[in-house]
Amino acid sequence: MISMKTITLAACATAVMASSAWADTYVCKHGDKERVISVVYEKEGQPVPCKVVYIKDTGTETPWNAQNQAGYCEEKAAAFVEKQRGWGWTCEKQDTAMDKPAADQGAM
């Protein structure tokens, strides 16, 4: 059964990603708790500008962002995912259409 918390987190993550060109997203779970860590890119196919968005039941945070340094957001998000895993969370990358540039979507 899907909890209201899961539905709310998913809605928040969707809203964040919908306002951007595309995103890499990880969903982390620990017991009945769930958190979302996303690297959000403002321009499709461009590594910057970007931001790391962290969504949990107490709200949404943007702990890191970059305007010029390619790879910065990805490094910070990956390190944060590993930190979550160290705290006992299970994190998995979500396979969404937003993970791929438009040129890749629909090509099978």
Q: Which DSSP string do the residues of 3-71 spell out, in sequence order?
A: -HHHHHHHHHHHHHHHTSSEEEEEEEEETTEEEEEEEEESSTT---SEEEEEEETTEEEEEEEESS-TT
Kindly list the averaged pLDDT for each block of 10 residues, start to end, along the chain of length 108.
Answer: 46 47 86 96 89 96 96 96 98 68 40
The full 3-state SS of 63-86, as one line of letters, equals: EEEECCCCCHHHHHHHHHHHHHHH
Instruction: Give the start-to-end residue ranges of the domains of the chain.
Output: 4-91
What per-residue confidence (pLDDT) applies to 63?
A: 97
What per-residue confidence (pLDDT) applies to 22?
A: 62
What per-residue confidence (pLDDT) applies to 108?
A: 36
Task: Say if CB 70 and CB 86 are below 8 A apart.
Answer: no
Task: Say if CB 80 and CB 87 are below 8 A apart.
Answer: no
pTM, two decimal places: 0.71
Task: Say if CB 67 and CB 48 are below 8 A apart.
Answer: yes
What per-residue confidence (pLDDT) applies to 29?
A: 97
What per-residue confidence (pLDDT) applies to 45?
A: 83
